[in-house]
Amino acid sequence: MEAGPEETQPETAPPTLQVQRNPGGLFYECINCGSKLTADQLAMTPEIKCPYCGYRILRKVRPPIVKHVKAR
């Protein structure tokens, strides 16, 4: 009997942690402690406040992309 080529599975790289990005891009930052939250994390709480320090003032973090609009 003739032995066929051994079937070897290609080595795969170990799984790496992928940073999950919020598809809506809505991030909030606590004014008091500076922790960053997603809109999904805020939706889990019954009221709008920081889950870490309890402070109730959050600001929406703007994306670093600058939009240019042509004037007519």
Which residue type does 21 have? R
> How many Cβ atoms from other residues are within 10 Å of residue 55's Cβ?
13
Burial of 17-38, coded b for 16+ CB within 10 Å and e otherwise, reads eeeeeeeeeebbebeeeeeebb
Which of the pair, 50 or 4, is modelled with greater confidence?
50
pLDDT in tens, 7-51: 555 455 444 433 445 456 789 999 999 999 999 999 888 999 999
Cα separation, 29 vs 12, in Å, equals 38
Query: Does 52 have pLDDT greater than 60?
Result: yes
Would you state the pLDDT for residue 11? 52
Whether residue 4 has pLDDT greater than 60: no
What is the model's pLDDT at position 14? Answer: 45
